Structure 1
Amino acid sequence: MKLNSKVGLLIVLCLLGASCVQKPRADDCKSGQELVYENAGFSSYTEDRIRAAGVVTFQLELNGMLTIYDLDTAVFGEVVRNEDGSYFTVNLPQKIVARWIVPQDDFSSFHFDAEAVDSSSDYLEIYVNSAKRLVKKDQVTYTFSPWTEYLKSSSIKLKACNLLKNADGESLASSKDQIFEVLAVKGDLIQIKSSKECLPDGTSFRELEGWLKWKSGDDLLIDFASCD
């Protein structure tokens, strides 16, 4: 049997100890958006596009307000945590695309792709609906995490186009329904291990561990999982 020269080269490299993590096919992992939260008159989506150096997370106290400004400092929208703490008042466009927005008190999340904190002295530069917008630093409580740290602090799930592989390079279908924690990050690769935390009811836990790509350029090749 005659081997394709590229296949032969890959086999040689693998035998020499080079990484044999298979690259997802670009046409299988197309960038898109996924619904995160929906309530009367408001919906939030996450996206596969990486917009900035990391992710900023906002913590709202009772009566706390998150005000988002356009670059000309006109108000783009606001979120207020109401006094009784039972719900949020949302004054934003009907559809919001950000890293992870859930304005519900028992498992609220306000995560936005953001430039490094020192990129501006007065403002945090975040991304909402594909555009850079501003939040005044002195008006909010926040945590900025570079992508490496954000990944390690998150639960993730795998896309069908980018599953763990067995020793023969075949996709492990069983890894599609599992939730994973990130153990290590090396460039575009992450080492992951299945976790019982956040596993949906009715899903059997499978002990899995391995390496795979988490991004290609500015495109995410994994999904984040919610622990509600």
Structure 2
Amino acid sequence: MRLKLTLLFLILSALTFAQTNLGIGLISIKFNDKTVLPFYSSINDKTPLKTIRFFNDTSINSWNIKDLKNQQKWLKPEILWLDYNFFVFRCEKQENDWFKVIIDNESGKSLWIKKNKVTEFKNWEKYLQDMFRISRISKTDKIYKLPNKNSAVIKYPGEDCFQVKAVKGDWIEIFTSECDESKNEIKSGWIKWKNGNQLLIEYFPTS
């Protein structure tokens, strides 16, 4: 049940945050119970504006963020799924050893974090390629043989359980994943994954 609720949260988050700047990619925080993550208004600031600290929460048998309820008043990242070690921000830009990350996907507010051993950057192509599966938000969005709406359409009656081969602008090349139990195999097809800053897909980092 917890997994289903979490996946539902991810879907709703993608829809709610659809107009937030997609940026250049995503930053995953590889946290443990000793991780401290400061956020700065500017790369020239000496004192962080916000800081989050992790700890081993024995009450839930998982790592957690101290004072999470209050932190979530300003902290609304791409994914906050601590019991499965997913803590992800959209990254607006990188400047030397700094990342400007969107800390609130509802308002689009961003702060800076320092590049270090707990920050892992992936561009959207690499990030989507690593997903367990992706699906279209609207099943009326067609699957094409080429990344062009003038291309032939691929008819696909099966479950949207795709993986990503490549990204080309607003398009992604997809193929059917093992989670699709039907026999409607797609070896290569193209769908639009975004329209400006609006995501047209849902993505799932795990089953």
TM-score (norm 2): 0.69
CA distance in 2, matches of 1:115, 1:181: 25
| Conservation of the 8 A alpha-carbon contact between 1:36 and 1:102 | no
Q: Does 1:180 align with 2:158?
A: no
Give the structure 1 partner of residue 3 of structure 2: none
| Conservation of the 8 A alpha-carbon contact between 1:162 and 1:222 | no
Q: Percent identity?
A: 21
Give the aligned residue type for 2:9: L
- CA offset digits 1:172-209 (Å, max 9, x no partner): 4x35x32211112222211101112xx3xxx7344234
Give the structure 1 partner of residue 9 of structure 2: 35
Q: Does 1:126 align with 2:101?
A: yes
What SS does the corresponding residue of 2:101 show, helix, strand or coil?
A: strand
Give the structure 2 partner of residue 87 of structure 1: 63
Distance 1:70 1:179, change over 3 A: farther
| Conservation of the 8 A alpha-carbon contact between 1:156 and 1:180 | yes
Q: How does 1:21-170 map to 2 (within 5 A)?
A: 35-36=9-10, 45-46=13-14, 47-48=17-18, 49-71=20-42, 74-82=48-56, 86-90=62-66, 91=68, 92-94=71-73, 96-104=75-83, 107-117=84-94, 119-121=95-97, 123-129=98-104, 130-138=108-116, 140-154=117-131, 155-160=133-138, 161-164=140-143, 169=153
- CA offset digits 1:54-80 (Å, max 9, x no partner): 111110133222333445754335141
| Conservation of the 8 A alpha-carbon contact between 2:31 and 2:85 | no
Give the CA deviation at 1:53. 1.1
Distance 1:99 1:137, change over 3 A: same
CA distance in 2, matches of 1:192, 1:163: 12
CA distance in 1, matches of 2:162, 2:171: 14
- CA offset digits 1:24-70 (Å, max 9, x no partner): xxxxxxxxxx7239xxxxxx934324431111111013322233344
Give the aligned residue type for 2:162: F
**Count of aligned pairs:** 177
Give the structure 2 partner of residue 190 of structure 1: 172
5+ residue gaps in structure 2? Answer: 1-7, 146-150
5+ residue gaps in structure 1? Answer: 1-33, 38-43
When the two chains are superposed, the root-mean-square deviation of aligned CA atoms in Å is: 3.2
